[in-house]
Amino acid sequence: MHWWLPLKGSTFAGDIDGLFLAILIITGIAFVVVEAGLIWFVIKYRQRPGRKAFYTHGNTRAEVIWTTIPAVTMVALGLISNHYWVRIKGRNSVPANAYPIAIHAKQFEWQVTYPGADGQLGTPDDFTVRNQLHVPVGRPVVFTMEGPDVIHSLWVPPLHGKKDLIPGHATSLWIKADRPGAFGGQCAEFCGYQHAHMRLLVIAESRGAFDAWLARQRRPAPEPTDAQARRGRDVFLTGPCAICHTIVGTPAAARLGPDLTHLAGRTTLAAGTLPNTPGHLAGWIIDPQRIKPGVHMPSIGLDGADLQALLAYLGSLK
């Protein structure tokens, strides 16, 4: 990691940004020097009343200078690129002990599937979360990725690497967080109306905390403990919510929208668009199209009492 990139969460991220910054700085200096010289010469030696423009040809000293400086700059760029490439090229092979996670990206959210207790994807006890994924610190994680609709691109700059998710063509990307933290990511391929609000959060935590999170996610939704929340569950199951959403442990098992089994455990709603508070959740349920035009969730008409009950229930889904 580089001292000027203190927010980075992985070794590769520091090296990739180091390469980018080194090339940016060197080419930036070259740009300024060349453009400044250009403007200087254009003004100083231009044709003026009573004087012809100045032309030069075959000036040995000038030829040597403007051949040597670019050549030295190119060699320096080559050496710097090679220095970083040697460090970064380990990214090309996925480590054998990488933890597998499947990511489906669709307009406009990230559907993230974790393996069952045996560590293999594709078993009945896989579970799915949205837009907030947890990873263990120090262990490589490999994402196998695909999108059902259009091309999206997974990009979490503090951990680095960027890879497209292409309909009908699986791609993969691996990351390794070197320290705990919450690292923001963003869809990096224009994918429609809400592309800019297609964010994700990667939460890197110690092995113990990660295992505890896995165990919590595998549990079904808790039973509502009070009358208000029980009424909220009835609103959920008998209203339009259950047509699209899953809450494990209830009859709601639809796959169109996000799995809400542990909704209250997330910090944001709508792919990082809103903080997960009762007020924002209420606004989202009543009129998601106003908050995120083009989102696939329709507006849900509920009277005030039903809405309050539903919020109480959803708030209990830790």
Which positions touch ligand CUA (CB under 6 A)? 105, 108, 152, 187, 189-191, 195, 198
CB of 176 to ligand CUA, least distance (A): 24
- Nearer Cβ to ligand CUA, position 187 or 314? 187
CB of 132 to ligand CUA, least distance (A): 16
- Nearer Cβ to ligand CUA, position 144 or 228? 144
CB of 108 to ligand CUA, least distance (A): 6
Report DSSP letters for 35-88, one per residue: HHHHHHHHHHTS-BTTBPPP-----HHHHHHHHHHHHHHHHHHHHHHHHHHHHH
Q: What gap in Å lies between CA 140 and CA 175, rounded to an integer?
A: 6
- Nearer Cβ to ligand CUA, position 146 or 189? 189
Beta strands in 151-305 (DSSP E): 152-155, 162-165, 171-175, 181-187, 199-205, 268-269, 274-275
Residue 72 has a CB neighbour count (10 Å cut-off) of 10
Beta strands in the chain (DSSP E): 99-106, 109-114, 127-130, 132-136, 141-146, 152-155, 162-165, 171-175, 181-187, 199-205, 268-269, 274-275
- Nearer Cβ to ligand CUA, position 99 or 155? 155
CB of 123 to ligand CUA, least distance (A): 28
In one letter, which amino acid is 225? T
CB of 195 to ligand CUA, least distance (A): 3
Q: What gap in Å lies between CA 194 and CA 105, rounded to an integer?
A: 13
CB of 193 to ligand CUA, least distance (A): 10
CB of 89 to ligand CUA, least distance (A): 28
- Nearer Cβ to ligand CUA, position 152 or 176? 152
Which letter, b or e, does each residue of 130-158 get, where b requires 16 or more Cβ atoms within 10 Å of its Cβ?
bbbbbbbbeebbbbbbbbeebebbbbbbb
Cβ proximity of 110 and 198 under 8 Å: yes
Q: What gap in Å lies between CA 264 and CA 251, rounded to an integer?
A: 19
Which letter, b or e, does each residue of 115-129 get, where b requires 16 or more Cβ atoms within 10 Å of its Cβ?
beeeeeeeeeeebbb
Which residues are paired to 274 by β-bridges?
269
- Nearer Cβ to ligand CUA, position 176 or 195? 195
- Nearer Cβ to ligand CUA, position 151 or 300? 151
- Nearer Cβ to ligand CUA, position 140 or 257? 257
- Nearer Cβ to ligand CUA, position 101 or 221? 101
CB of 130 to ligand CUA, least distance (A): 13
The CB-side HSE value for 133 (13 A sphere, CA atoms) comes to: 31
CB of 192 to ligand CUA, least distance (A): 7
